[in-house]
Structure 1
Amino acid sequence: MGHRYELEEKIEALRNELNLASQTYGLLSETVLELSIELDELLNTYYQFLFLRTIA
């Protein structure tokens, strides 16, 4: 169960970083794009983890 909370903490930290970067560099910056892609991948991992737990 620790893995789930670790993922949630990483997601929240990355969301905060993304928000700060978007305010600093603008929504169309390369930095924001890279962070957004990283967050998408992390969210996909999280939802896949939750899905696999529901069918196990």
Structure 2
Amino acid sequence: MHATLIAAAETAAEHTEALPFPPLVFGLGAFAGLVAMLLVTYAFRSVGTRH
């Protein structure tokens, strides 16, 4: 049973697909998204004190 599972895991590991972009692109995309959310939050910083 264990040998079958190990063989299946090895076969699955051989057929993995690479990422569509380099890892740096994912990091820069996440950074850009977080900065965009920061800017949206910063734009509404004084809404509560206006009223």
Q: TM range, normalised to the smaller chain?
A: 0.3 to 0.5
- So what's the TM-score if we normalise by structure 1? 0.44
Higher relative contact order (CA 8 A, sep 6+): 1
Larger Rg: 2
